[in-house]
Structure 1
Amino acid sequence: MALSKSQIPDTAQHLLVCGINSCEKICQFYCNPCHQPMCEQCRDKHQKSPETKNHEVVEKCRDHPNKDLDILCDQCSVRLCSKCSTMPVHKGHSFTDLEKIYTEKSAACRQEIQRIQTYFIPTTKDLQSEIKIDATEIKTIMDDIRSSMKDEGKCLKTLVDEVTSDNLEKVNKMEESLREMLQSQNKTYQDYISYLMDLLEKFRGYLSSSQLKNNPIIFSLTEHLKIQPIPETTKPVSPVFTAGRYSKGDVAKLLGRITVPDTKPENRKIKPMDTASTQLKPTVKQNKSDVKPTLSLSSSVTKVRKYTVSGVDRVYHLSLGKSGRLWVSDKDGNLVQTDLQGNQLHKIQTNGKDEGYHTVTQTEDLIYTDRNNKVINRKTPDNTITELIKTRDWTPISIHSSHINRDILVGMVKPGEAKVTRYIKTRREIQNIHSHNEGQAMFSGPHYITENTNGDVCVSDWKKEAVVVVNKSGKHRFSYTGQGLSKFYPKGVCTDHLGHILVCDHHSDTVHLLDPDGQFLCLLLTQQQGIKYPSSLCVDDESNLIVGQRDTNTVTVYKYLQ
């Protein structure tokens, strides 16, 4: 703490005092531009003032106030003035110029400042941005979980309503059967009473008859007195209702549960600092291998390759697996798996027709509809075929396995009606899309289905002459009916990594390209490029467009993105 002038002992009268605003405290510092000694507090104010913040303020020696502290004793690690260095206590010691030390330390500080500005702050901000992205993703995931939980609840409620309805119907039938039995028994006794009344009347007639010689009881009383026994009947056995015994935990098991995977969280990746040289580069060079190429529409469409698929006579629908292998079907139910050269790997016989009745899951399972039996089958990579879903009185005609959440979307029809149903992984029906809010039918024939990157469901409905697009909740977004065409017969439909919607027009022999909001962008393929009767298409992991046509068993691959 600085002393005032009155507190300075007589033996220290040679010390300078602060002259700033009559402070008069012992000074330890000196401003060279102002030629003014100052105490520590006044020094701080002096260096904070906008007018004097750049002044050179040096520290004065306490023992020799007229001398600057300009050297460092290497052995004692204390700052000294040149006069102090001659004192006996520092005899034989080595000294280093403080200005030299300051220059070296300043260079190190500037380098650290550069490191902070060019690496630590940007890298930390990148991590903050990553946290914001994670927060957004967590919000989306939790919203999806909440939605799935609600869907599970609705599904369970629907099942409960169905089971309750079935049980009530059984009760009604039991009651009707028991009523019929009791009515039959009642009629039996009513008929018996009528018999007894007739018999009673007959006996009374015998007693009142005056013609004894003709009275039947004179000859055979025993025969006339024989009365039929009272009919036997059984008492009804009443049904007994045994209430289901379940707890909240039992219901919770039916609805599923949310869990946190038992995995150790990964540390966020921190970009390494370039240590190739002691001087940090102004910017950190980005590794080219970490940069994902940006896709955009190419100025032209290029044919990459073309190959023939044996085992089918036409190509009406294509399903692509992760391995790049295709499942190809024709209108006669032939379903063939082929490699990239067209070699047949597997073949099965189905009752599918000219529609998108098969799809491949992320686990490489083939899922396909069975129109005749109204079921959906699954074929695993080991060639095991099992029944997956029963569609009851609806005929499944098209199907798509979601690569977003693994839901299964099925297009179904029955006389006068059409719908798209969503099943979750547990094969439970959680959503039916069939009409607008106004009650108008959404579909007539959902022959091809796909899902866009934003969760939209895209349905190619050639009976409506439109591609009908709804969002994940089933709300109608838009319908595309062709770009200025008098007729539009959409067939195969797919989406790419940019969210484009691609659809085959069977009428004009073209492939249309739309943006995610249904705006027409261009005719991607036309007759001039050899396209005829396009019926199916899909986009592979390399963003190549694969097209199948109904007049040939060849598959053509095009490059349209760059």
Structure 2
Amino acid sequence: MALTQAQSISSEVYRIVDTISLGQRYYIFDMITHASGHVSLSMINPDLYDDSNLSYKQKKVYVALPTGCYIANAPYGVLFYGIENMIATYGSYDEFKRGITVNNIFWTQNTPESNTYSWKPHGIAFSKYHLLVCLWNQKFRQQSIGKVMKIRTEKNGVPNNRTCIEIQSDKNTPLYVCPTYIVENGNGDICVSDVRAVVVTDAGGMLRFRYEGNSCKSNFDPYGICCDSSCNIIVADMKNDKIHMVDKDGEFLHHVTYEGIRMPRALSIDSNDHVYVGEWDSDSIKIISR
């Protein structure tokens, strides 16, 4: 009884203030919220290659990529996506279907260590003049490691081909196992969803804290991540049907829940702190608020 009461107290029910219908069920992989209230999506659904199934284009969806790739939107309005060992820019759906060309490659692996590891880009996000990239070495179990890169960009979005900083270890201990989603907090911290933990470093790459769930018995499994205007960190715990709210110093605040919550995967947030939730296998995007 006491445990049930404690869990209830630690949860806060949010309202579903709006939904974005997708016309049919999709596996939502990643999501961007635009200032207009529209979204861009990355889904895992091969049917999206058939333009006759793009009924969502009449709704509030700008772009929906069908490959389950990570996506980010630059301040100057260009959509970026990660695929294979590259990050490319998106021009049009037809261009995307034709594949990556030399004209839209933003970054590709070209380092001396590429003979040792084949780094695969996962989550990507933008700060003011940097692209933040999660990279994984495509190995498993004890050999799996990751890192975060901050790539300097110019105002027009052209990379200057210089990695400003690589974040990989703390006191010779690897920080990441397989980093997936990433976001820059309002205080400059870099927040990363990793295996069983959210890893938070400062802007220079120094470890601030690891958040591993709010219970020693929890099977925390973080995915999509965003931050609100108070610098609280909001993370989707997909396999446990939960969303965690953590403050900027790593203290658990509460679980966010809403009616019918099921497998939240992708998260984004707008300027009013409305959280957009893309669930795994859903026919709509839920927009929730306190």
TM-score if structure 2 supplies the norm length?
0.77
Indicate the structure with greater strand content: 2
Cα distance in structure 2, aligned partners of 1:502 and 1:328: 19
In structure 2, the partner of 1:377 is: 88
Question: Residue 530 of structure 1: SS of its match in structure 2?
Answer: coil
Return the index of the structure with the highest Cα Rg.
1
Give the direction of change, closer, same or farther, for the CA distance of 1:430–1:498 in structure 2 (3 Å limit).
Answer: same
1:413 corresponds in structure 2 to 136
* 2:105 corresponding residue in structure 1: 387
Q: What pairs up with 1:522-537 in 2 under 5 angstroms?
A: 522-525=254-257, 529-537=259-267
* CA deviation profile, 1:109-133 (whole Å, cap 9, x unmatched): xxxxxxxxxxxxxxxxxxxxxxxxx
* Comparing 515-524 and 393-402, the one that deviates more: 393-402
In the TM superposition, residue 349 of structure 1 has moved relative to its aligned partner by 4.7
1:498-509 to 2 correspondences below 5 Å: 498-509=230-241
Report the alpha carbon displacement of residue 342 of structure 1 after superposing the two structures with TM.
3.2
Q: Is the 8 A contact 1:494 1:537 kept in 2?
A: yes
Partner residue in 1 for 2:123: 398
Note the residue ranges of structure 2 that are not aligned, 5 or more in a row.
Answer: 1-11, 96-102, 111-117, 154-159
Aligned residue among 406, 423, 426 for 2:151? 423
| Offset at residue 346 of structure 1 (A) | 4.0
Distance 1:410 1:488 in 2: 23
**Percent identity among equivalent residues?**
27
| Match status 1:553 vs 2:283 | yes
Report the Cα offset of residue 312 of structure 1. Answer: 6.7
User: In structure 1, how many angstroms separate the alpha carbons of the residues matched to 2:191 and 2:230?
Assistant: 15
AA aligned opposite 1:342: K
Quote the Cα distance in structure 2 between the aligned partners of 1:422 and 1:319: 20
> Contact 1:410/1:420 (CA < 8 Å) preserved in 2?
yes
2:188 aligns to what SS in structure 1?
A: coil
Query: Using a 3 Å threshold, how does the CA distance of structure 1 residues 332 and 338 change in structure 2: closer, same or farther?
Result: closer
Which residue in the other structure is 1:459 paired with? Answer: 192
Task: Tell me the equivalent position of 2:168.
Answer: 434
The letter for the 2-side match of 1:525 is T
- What's the secondary structure of 1:507's corresponding residue? helix
Q: Report the AA paired with residue 412 of structure 1.
A: L
Residue 338 to residue 518, structure 1, CA distance change in 2 (3 Å)? farther
1:122-147 C-alpha deviation (Å, 9 max, x unpaired): xxxxxxxxxxxxxxxxxxxxxxxxxx
Counterpart residue number, 1:329: 42
Instruction: Measure, in 2, the Cα distance between the counterparts of 1:349 and 1:506.
Output: 20
1:272-283 matches, cutoff 5 A: none
C-alpha distance in 1 between matches for 2:281 and 2:24: 15
Higher relative contact order (CA 8 A, sep 6+): 2
CA distance in 2 between partners of 1:446 and 1:313 (Å): 24
Residue of structure 1 equivalent to 2:209? 478
Give a deviation string over 1:231-278, Cα, whole Å, max 9, x none. xxxxxxxxxxxxxxxxxxxxxxxxxxxxxxxxxxxxxxxxxxxxxxxx
SS in 1 for 2:276: strand
The amino acid across from 1:424 in the alignment is R
- For 2:24 and 2:163, the matched residues in 1 are separated by 34
Q: Corresponding residue for 1:359?
A: 72
SS of corresponding position for 2:244: strand
Tell me the residue number matched to 1:538.
268
CA distance in structure 2 between the aligned counterparts of 1:460 and 1:370, rounded to whole angstroms: 19
Q: What is the Cα-based RMSD across aligned positions, in Å?
A: 2.6
More helix by share: 1
Whole-angstrom distance in 1 between the partners of 2:55 and 2:226: 19
SS in 1 for 2:282: coil
| Amino acid aligned to 2:165 | Q
